[in-house]
């Protein structure tokens, strides 16, 4: 069942669908994904492609891969995902999966038509903290603190979405960030000397947001380790014929909430 109540198509022939994994993109995050794929049981890294050669490989029906990890430029992500879905391939998308929540919804519809699973990167959901929380438990207070070290505006937006998504999960909201009843947000401008972080093109020096959920908690996180955990969890789900741990529809509420906050801060 999808996050919006729709029935989702099951994975077909799951035991044969993770043997050949193609990873597209370069950089530290892509390398971490590649390490996790190599270590995953039943999966193998068939190709690790630079961005420049990605488009042609994805569109070839005879291309030798079952699952694609798209770690390249966000601006081309939807286009390449749609090309891979036309070939019936499962996908894992780095954040953001699309330029807007509406585009993510359309991509989810295409994935359902193709009978393919599309996982989305939300590594904070795989922190060991959740192993110690009883199923169905809801905390009463969430305090999430995050810093962006570099990357300017895009990095700030992603950090904000990560924190919002984590708050929704810890709040025990079935719809994640969709469970917000009230939202308040304020921002301070970046300092002229760059001391606030975020790089020279930082949009904000600081952001404060108040969200009324049902509950919450506080956590510190190791992002690199969690990238490996979510990569393995996605591949295990495919092999077992289960839906992606975090789907496009699961990611939609946090994207919408981020859009609401960014609108208020303009």
Q: Is the alpha carbon torsion for 177, 183, 189, 194 positive or negative?
A: negative
User: In the chain, what are the domain boundaries?
Assistant: 14-123+224-252, 128-220
In this predicted structure, what is the pLDDT of residue 242? 93
The pTM for the full model equals 0.75
In this predicted structure, what is the pLDDT of residue 75? 82
pLDDT tens, the chain, 266 aa long: 343 333 344 444 444 467 889 999 888 889 999 999 999 988 888 888 887 776 666 666 556 788 999 998 888 889 889 988 988 899 999 998 998 999 999 999 999 999 999 999 988 888 887 777 777 766 556 666 666 555 555 667 777 777 778 777 777 655 555 566 666 667 667 655 554 444 444 566 666 676 766 554 333 345 567 788 999 999 999 999 999 999 999 999 889 888 888 887 76
Per CATH, is 14-123+224-252 categorized as 3.40.50.720?
Answer: yes
In this predicted structure, what is the pLDDT of residue 239? 92
């Amino acid at each position: 069942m999808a996050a919006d109540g729709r029935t989702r198509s099951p994975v077909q022939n799951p035991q044969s669908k993770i043997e050949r994994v193609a990873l597209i993109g370069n950089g530290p995050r892509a390398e971490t994904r590649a390490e996790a794929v190599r270590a995953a049981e039943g999966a193998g890294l068939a190709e690790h492609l630079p961005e420049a050669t990605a488009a042609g490989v994805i569109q070839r029906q005879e291309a030798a891969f079952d699952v694609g990890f798209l770690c390249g430029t966000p601006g081309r992500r939807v286009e390449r995902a749609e090309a891979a879905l036309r070939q019936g391939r499962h996908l894992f998308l780095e954040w953001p999966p699309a330029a807007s929540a509406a585009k993510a919804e359309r991509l989810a519809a295409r994935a359902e038509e193709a009978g393919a699973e599309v996982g989305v990167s939300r590594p904070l959901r795989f922190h060991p903290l959740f192993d110690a929380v009883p199923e169905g438990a809801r905390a009463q207070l969430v305090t999430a603190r995050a810093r962006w070290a570099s990357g300017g505006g895009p990095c700030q937006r992603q950090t904000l979405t990560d924190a919002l998504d984590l708050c929704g999960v810890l709040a025990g909201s079935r719809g994640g960030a969709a469970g917000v009843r009230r939202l308040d947000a304020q921002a301070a401008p970046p300092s002229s000397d760059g001391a606030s972080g975020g790089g020279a093109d930082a949009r904000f020096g600081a952001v404060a947001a108040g969200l009324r959920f049902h509950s919450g908690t506080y956590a510190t996180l190791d992002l690199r380790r969690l990238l490996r955990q979510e990569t393995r969890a996605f591949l295990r789900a495919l092999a077992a014929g289960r839906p992606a741990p975090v789907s496009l529809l699961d990611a939609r509420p946090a994207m919408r909430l981020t859009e609401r906050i960014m609108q208020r801060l303009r």
